A and B are shown apart, each in its own frame.
Chain A
Amino acid sequence: MNKSQWRTAAMFLMPYGVVFGIFVLLPVLYGFYISLHKWHILAPKPEFIGLRNYKLVLSDDLFRIAFARTAFYVAMVVPLGNALSLLLAVGLNQNYRGTTFYKVAFYLPVVMSVSVIAILWRWLYSAEFGIINHYLSQIASLGHQIAPAISPAALKPQWLNSPATAMPAIALMSIWWGAGGNMLIYFAGLKNVPRELLEAAEIDGAGPWRRFWTVSWPLLRPTTLFCLVMSVIASFQVFGQTYILTGGGPYYSTLTIILYMYQQGFGLYQLGYAAAVGYLLFGTLLICTLIQFKLLAVKQ
């Protein structure tokens, strides 16, 4: 161990390290400390109760509901979102004319804030006046002309107002919002696939479909792992969409873990309980991430 390099490293790490220590590490530790206490935000001081908050959370059936609803959301958003991102990246990688336009079109939703996309999609999802249901009803009346058995009013989902469709609607919106981000990363991964390998496969008579699955896909594995890990982390932490659009309803159908935590912490000011919810989610994500690494990581 070279002493001078240690010193250099300390110098390089210092600016970020100080900020990280004060505004990430310290709050994280303090948050854990709070989770061991019973604390109403307006109470003069927290009361130590050990692990009781964790026990309470684990026996709270609403937490279990929130966990299940979040898992449902993750199960929709992660596979479908990544599939869409990959598809867009493959399209972009064809180098068709207008690549810049496509890049902008695919990525533009990502630059908007969650409050903006939420109020925008509330307008799109409006069952009576929204544009989505308008085009669906046109499809239905087209169907009615072909097969009169189909009611022209058949395709009129209530989207955010119905427990059955609310979570899928939020997932659809989130996929639209986030697809561009992962697309860029998949695109970068595809760019790094050596051209010689693809050409060699073409000479061997492999069509585009086979070339993709036998050459590009295996090489994309690290990229896929990165995208999956990041999107699992991000979608387990879904909050803004449900907070603004549904507040967890109707009937808990869109109650997500962070929203539940937020309601406990800010709505009810049970800070210790809320922190315990957050740390249980952290534990879950840590395990999820380790599993993904085990399953997908390639030995280099």
Chain B
Amino acid sequence: MKKGKRRQAHIQTKHVIAQIAMLVVALILLAPILWMFSTSLKPNDQILTAAPNWMPHPISFEHFHKLFTQAEDFPVARWLFNSAFISTTVTLLALAFTSMAAYAFSRLHFKGRDVLFMAVIATMMIPSQITLIPSFLIVQKLGWFNSYQGLIVPGLAGAFGVFLLRQFFLGIPVELEEAAFMDGAGPAVIYWRVVLPLAKPALAALAIFTFIGAWNDFVWPLIITNDISMRTLPVGIMIFQGRYVTEYGATMATAAVCSVPTIIAFLIFQKRITEGIAMTGIKG
């Protein structure tokens, strides 16, 4: 009995130490991001100080103010709309397309299925820089240069989503679908009524991956648009990130503006993400 108590206390101490360690690790991982926000809120004369000052005092919005007023002709609101619209559309369409493909790869039987699937997966190993110029030429041939289609459609072709969802669908018990089949449901109905509702967590995870990826994309939106009104927010904002700019306050304000939307998107979806991945049961 006594021994058990001591052991209990021992375990307690261990847990306390582990929790402290975790807190420290979490703070270290968060520190760069906090430092970014802190620097962006400081007036210039507080930035290059000898001892780092984590709390700006006084808080100054001058860098943000400059960022948005320096560009009087620049349609920041339009860029924000473009980014939100493009990322949302890419996310929704990619979920639809990849989930359908993943359903075919995991549930339907047809000749050459596995070979086709492996070919799709293998394209993940091809550096995207190789396909940049060919894709550019194709978009131009289609007459999609400088258009929303050109910004959206190529973003729907990623193989990661197919891989992720296929793994997830494989983990869903077939019995559920067999019951629906007995009731006379065809594959389309099963996909829509049975598989998709069960896959909600995985779809949420893929949604956030896709949204973040589309929001943060830089090279493609830059080369495929010419009109200033067709720019996305990261591309438009990065214009102020000049080569010779050594003003860290302004730079960090730029960085903060670019990351706040994805941080918000993540906070909204974060609960569903872990559920999503926890249920994929990824198998090698």
- The reply, when asked whether chain A contacts chain B directly with Cβ atoms under 8 A, is yes
Residues on A facing B (Cβ under 8 Å): 1-2, 5-6, 8-9, 11-13, 15-17, 19-20, 22-28, 30-31, 34, 41, 88, 91, 94, 96-97, 100-116, 119-121, 123-124, 129, 131, 134, 176, 179, 184-185, 187-189, 191-192, 221-223, 225-226, 233, 237, 239, 258, 261-262, 265, 271, 274-275, 278-279, 281-282, 285-286, 289, 293, 296-298, 300
Compute how far the CA of A16 lies from the CA of B120 in the bound complex, rounded to whole angstroms. 11
**Residues A116 and B255 in contact, CB atoms below 8 Å apart:** yes
Say yes or no: A19-B156 contact (C-beta < 8 A), given A13-B104, A286-B125: yes
**Residues B130 and A112 in contact, CB atoms below 8 Å apart:** no
Say yes or no: A187-B255 contact (C-beta < 8 A), given A108-B263, A123-B39, A225-B284: no
Say yes or no: A113-B258 contact (C-beta < 8 A), given A23-B157, A104-B270, A261-B127: yes
Contacts of B238 in A (CB 8 A): 115
| Chain A proximity mask over B2-40: 1 for CB below 8 Å, otherwise 0 | 000000000000010011011001110110110110010
Say yes or no: A222-B283 contact (C-beta < 8 A), given A26-B134, A109-B32: yes
Nearest B residue (CB) for A135: B52
Compute how far the CA of A161 lies from the CA of B26 in the bound complex, rounded to whole angstroms. 28
Say yes or no: A188-B277 contact (C-beta < 8 A), given A111-B263, A223-B282, A286-B122: yes
Closest-CB distance, A230 to chain B (whole angstroms): 8
**Residues A298 and B284 in contact, CB atoms below 8 Å apart:** yes
Closest-CB distance, B99 to chain A (whole angstroms): 9
Contacts of B270 in A (CB 8 A): 100, 103-104, 107
Say yes or no: A9-B266 contact (C-beta < 8 A), given A19-B156, A105-B29, A109-B33: no
CB interface residues, B 237-284, toward A, < 8 Å: 238, 241, 248, 251-252, 254-255, 258-259, 262-263, 265-267, 270-271, 273-274, 277-284
B interface SS class: helix
**Residues A222 and B284 in contact, CB atoms below 8 Å apart:** yes
Q: Is B131 positioned at the interface, with any CB of A under 8 Å from its CB?
A: yes
Q: Which of B108, B138, B159, B254 contacts A26 (CB 8 A)?
A: B138
**Residues B104 and A124 in contact, CB atoms below 8 Å apart:** no
**Residues A191 and B278 in contact, CB atoms below 8 Å apart:** yes
Q: Which of A11, A107, A179 contacts B266 (CB 8 A)?
A: A107
Say yes or no: A28-B126 contact (C-beta < 8 A), given A15-B100, A120-B255: yes
**Residues A258 and B29 in contact, CB atoms below 8 Å apart:** no
| Chain A proximity mask over B101-120: 1 for CB below 8 Å, otherwise 0 | 10110001111010000001
Residues on B facing A (Cβ under 8 Å): 15, 18-19, 21-22, 25-27, 29-30, 32-33, 35-36, 39, 48, 51-52, 96-98, 100-101, 103-104, 108-111, 113, 120, 122-127, 129-131, 133-135, 137-138, 153-154, 156-157, 159, 162, 186-188, 191, 212, 215-216, 218, 234, 238, 241, 248, 251-252, 254-255, 258-259, 262-263, 265-267, 270-271, 273-274, 277-284
Contacts of B32 in A (CB 8 A): 109, 120-121, 124, 176
Total of A-B residue pairs, C-beta within 8 Å: 250
Chain A CB within 10 A, most for which of B248, B271, B280, B282? B282
Compute how far the CA of A5 lies from the CA of B53 in the bound complex, rounded to whole angstroms. 65
Contacts of B281 in A (CB 8 A): 188, 192
Say yes or no: A108-B30 contact (C-beta < 8 A), given A119-B241, A258-B127, A282-B125: yes
**Residues B26 and A106 in contact, CB atoms below 8 Å apart:** yes
Closest-CB distance, A32 to chain B (whole angstroms): 9
Say yes or no: A9-B104 contact (C-beta < 8 A), given A116-B259, A187-B277: yes
Q: Which of B22, B96, B109, B284 contacts A91 (CB 8 A)?
A: B22
**Residues B130 and A222 in contact, CB atoms below 8 Å apart:** no
Compute how far the CA of A123 lies from the CA of B38 in the bound complex, rounded to whole angstroms. 12
Say yes or no: A27-B282 contact (C-beta < 8 A), given A13-B104, A15-B96, A239-B129: no
